[in-house]
Amino acid sequence: MINGIKPLDRSLRWGMVGGGGTSQIGYIHRSAALRDNTFTLLAGAFDIDAERGRAFGTSLGVDSHRCYADYETLFRQEAERADGIEAVSIATPNNTHFAICKAALEYGLHVVCEKPLCFTTAEAEALAELSQKQNKIVGLTYGYSGFQLIQQARSMIAEGLLGDIRIVNMSFSHGFHNEAVELDNPSTRWRVDPKFVGPSYVLGDLATHPLFLAETLLPALKIKRLMCSRQSFVKTRAPLEDNAFVLMEYDNGAVGSLWCSAVNSGSMHGQRIRAIGSKASIEWWDEQPNQLRYEVQGEPVRILERGMSYLAPHVLEEDRISGGHAEGLFEAWSNLYRRFAIAMDATDRGDKALLARFWYPDVHAGVAGVRWVERCVESADAGAIWVDFAS
């Protein structure tokens, strides 16, 4: 059980780029990073508007001299300090991730980066190589993968409880953008502008989440080829899609489907994953993250509840409040940040044994997501044809 005691004998000196006072996602980064005393927030370039960023940083208690106007100044000046930051989180719009992540690694920082990692496979692979060369980790905030019951599902599948895996059915389909809400909402406006998001909207913004859940549940399953059809129901969003369907074939003969949408009117989030085997199925829904459905053919449905003693012991190690109480996205993110800190510390100590058996959404998860989006766009724009995934 996690009880607030530091898992490390140090707290990593930490900074942020983006995630300012008006951002959607900055607060959950800070809540998660600071929750277990594994990171101390000491510096940042929090906002595209330097003055607003400084005012915000100081309101968080960061020294005003360490609230910088931009990320280059942040990295350069912190590198000159004996007590400069060791790790940085990047919570800015997508078009900036590659340059900021590259610069951070070049300055010898560990990185936590928002998804998608960048826009092209070539860029993503360059970041993976740089991270290896610098011996610094890049963690990706696929936040839903931090839910305990995702780790439980992974264990049950690894134990063979589902039998041979046949079908993976995924969706992330909400209704919040069923109209052109971007006209009044700056946080949505950049999401539908190719200058900021590159070649896709919902494929990169939404679909990469359940895609990573599938990679987490089924690490052995490799996509062989895929086919994508994408649409812009709000016409002003074209060529970016606000809805897409993707079919996948895996190398073991299994098949998968993923529906991502921002125009699923009435739906709150609609992120689900269902893994179907020859004996049984498992299903998890992010709107009820404390329950996992386990359905054995011919038997009554079992609903596994978070925090209960019948879960795997390593899953219970990440329990924060015991069964019966709801945990949510903030706890899932905290679990991930805790893992990022452990991986950063192990990397610094050269603890290869720990890293070899340690799971967290790493730079390869970032590369896989970027490659997947790239292939989906290629397929859709060629008329929804099958394209090889790996080539």
Q: For residues 202 and 192, give the distance between their C-alpha atoms in angstroms, rounded to a whole number.
A: 9
In the chain, what is the greatest distance between 2 CA atoms, to the nearest angstrom? 65
Pick the piece of the chain touching ligand NAI (CB under 6 A) from 60-68, 90-98, 261-269, 358-366.
90-98
Smallest distance, ligand NAI to C-beta of residue 93, A: 5
Smallest distance, ligand NAI to C-beta of residue 377, A: 17
Q: How far is CA 30 from CA 15, 226, 270, 334, in A?
A: 10, 37, 26, 9
Alpha carbon dihedral 25, 173, 224, 194, in 10-degree steps, equals -60
Query: Is 143 near ligand NAI (CB under 6 A)?
Result: yes
- Nearer to ligand NAI by Cβ, of 19 and 307: the residue is 19
214 CB-near residues (< 8 Å, 6+ apart) = 168, 170, 221, 256, 273, 275
SS3 of residue 326 by DSSP: coil
Query: Is 187 near ligand NAI (CB under 6 A)?
Result: yes
Query: Is 24 near ligand NAI (CB under 6 A)?
Result: yes
Q: Which two tokens stand for residue 295?
A: 């359905």
Q: Which two tokens stand for residue 103?
A: 């610069």
Comparing every residue's Cβ against ligand NAI, the nearest one is: 20
- Nearer to ligand NAI by Cβ, of 16 and 246: the residue is 16
- Nearer to ligand NAI by Cβ, of 22 and 155: the residue is 22
The residue written with tokens 């000491």 in the block is: 42
The residue written with tokens 């001299």 in the block is: 65
Pick the piece of the chain touching ligand NAI (CB under 6 A) from 88-96, 153-161, 168-176, 371-379.
88-96
Site for ligand NAI in 102-121 (CB under 6 A): 114-115
Smallest distance, ligand NAI to C-beta of residue 244, A: 16
Which stretches of the chain are DSSP H helices?
26-35, 50-59, 71-79, 97-106, 121-134, 148-158, 186-189, 194-197, 202, 208-217, 313-316, 329-349, 352-356, 363-381
Site for ligand NAI in 267-326 (CB under 6 A): none
Smallest distance, ligand NAI to C-beta of residue 275, A: 21
Residue in 2, 8, 11, 22 binding ligand NAI, rule: CB under 6 A: 22
Yes or no: say if 306 and 149 are a contact pair by the CB < 8 Å rule: yes
Give the pairing of strands 165-173 and 271-277. antiparallel
Query: Is 48 near ligand NAI (CB under 6 A)?
Result: yes
Residue in 38, 141, 267, 379 binding ligand NAI, rule: CB under 6 A: 141
**Residues touching ligand NAI, count (CB under 6 A):** 23
- DSSP-assigned letter for residue 149: H
Query: Is 73 near ligand NAI (CB under 6 A)?
Result: no
Pick the piece of the chain touching ligand NAI (CB under 6 A) from 17-25, 211-219, 247-255, 347-355.
17-25
Yes or no: say if 166 and 277 are a contact pair by the CB < 8 Å rule: yes
Query: Is 92 near ligand NAI (CB under 6 A)?
Result: yes
Smallest distance, ligand NAI to C-beta of residue 157, A: 23
The binding site for ligand NAI (CB under 6 A) comprises 17-20, 22-25, 45, 47-48, 71, 91-94, 96, 114-115, 141, 143, 187, 205
